[in-house]
Structure 1
Amino acid sequence: MSNDTQTTISIFSADDIASHLSELGALLRACVDDGASIGFVLPFSVDDSRAFFSNNVLPAVRLGKRVLLVAYKNDRIAGSGQLDFDTPPNQPHRAEVRKLLVHPDFRRQGIAKVIMAELERVAGQLGRSLITLDTRTGDKAEPLYASLGYNTAGIIPGYCRDPFEDRLDSTTVMYKSL
């Protein structure tokens, strides 16, 4: 757990996820509604948001293959980030950042940086020395990751569907050695 001027980061257990499905679902829904390219397209319901956490994140956390960090600010869930370390036997040194979310009400307050720093700390504790991630090319997150020392490995054109429009967006694959 770390603290940064009223932002508290907690590692959520499977039980924590189960008891906070509504708040986690609301966070995901708000980010998708705001245009975040995080794997979902509109229409996207609150039930879809909760189902993602209960059917995808919770089992992975329960099996010890993923860590979910949750950022609180002003007694609200302000953001979250996942570290997936369910890697093949030839990649025991690697982990992947997944679904870095900051609620639109809490953006531009340094929460994403705090979550990323904690994800890196956890990765180090797990013996992981390489972190990978991908982000929609040209998104606001891309310069954030670069400012945190992530390098661009490449861009994959037509990688994912835009959440609002019927078009395909590119993704930038990034990495950082710890």
Structure 2
Amino acid sequence: MKVMELSGNQARDRAKELAFVLYDCVAGGASVSFMAPFPAKDAYAFWLSVAEGITRGERHLLVAEVDDQIVGTVQLVVNTPPNQPHRADVAKMLVHRSARGKGVGAALLQRVEATALALGRTLLVLDTVTGSPADRLYRRHGWQEVGVIPDYALLPEGGLVSTTVFYKKLG
């Protein structure tokens, strides 16, 4: 497995691969902002918008590859208000179902934390579905729970789920 950062142009060039991962996560029931039915063209359009955000310097995109195919992604959103130059958001941690349980999420999490530190960001925040595998991953890697918000979002097929908000101080 290889973890690397993509530029805006690279993300644009690989938007179909990225869309495949997002599509798979939504099809698997992940609550990552999208509802079923989820057209592949919408997944592709999402990644084109992410590529624009990378180009504008608003976010960083890290991907995990196995055999030169993207199997996981995570974003570091650095577009924060002027009074929060030390903080960033971790967003859209996605791992294709075929690659889960193989250390992809942990590798992406370690790399996003290192990227944040390199950028001078020492406080990270994120949210995830309460009790999910991602929830357990973050806890194992030292993230601190802030609290649970009930009925925060819908699953792709419907049904409300709670979200847990986490933070981690780096360095």
Structure-1-length-normalised TM-score: 0.93
Alpha-carbon deviation of 1:122? 0.5
Question: 1:63-74 residue pairs with structure 2 within 5 A?
Answer: 63-74=56-67
Distance 1:26 1:145 in 2: 24
Alpha-carbon deviation of 1:75? 2.1
Structure 1 segments (4+ residues) deviating >2 Å? none
For residue 23 of structure 1, give the secondary structure of its aligned residue in structure 2: helix
User: Which ranges in structure 1 are unaligned for 5 or more consecutive residues?
Assistant: 1-6
**What is the CA deviation profile of residues 50-99 of structure 1, one whole-angstrom value per residue up to 9, with x for unaligned ones?**
011112x1111001110000110122111111000110111111111100
1:169 aligns with 2:161: yes
Question: 1:108 — aligned with what?
Answer: 101
CA contact (8 A) 2:5 2:60 kept: yes
Question: 1:28 — aligned with what?
Answer: 22
Question: 2:135 — aligned with what?
Answer: 142
For residue 120 of structure 2, give the secondary structure of its aligned residue in structure 1: coil
For residue 69 of structure 1, give the secondary structure of its aligned residue in structure 2: strand
**What is the CA deviation profile of residues 5-42 of structure 1, one whole-angstrom value per residue up to 9, with x for unaligned ones?**
xx111110111011111111111000110111111110
User: Which ranges in structure 2 are unaligned for 5 or more consecutive residues?
Assistant: none
Aligned residue identity for 1:96: D
For residue 167 of structure 2, give the secondary structure of its aligned residue in structure 1: strand
Distance 1:150 1:96 in 2: 13
Aligned length: 170
RMSD: 0.8
Structure-2-length-normalised TM-score: 0.97
Question: 2:35 — aligned with what?
Answer: 41
Distance 1:74 1:126 in 2: 29
1:50 aligns with 2:44: yes
For residue 32 of structure 2, give the secondary structure of its aligned residue in structure 1: coil
For residue 147 of structure 2, give the secondary structure of its aligned residue in structure 1: strand
Aligned residue identity for 2:95: V
CA contact (8 A) 2:30 2:155 kept: no
Could you tell me the percent identity over the aligned residues?
Answer: 42
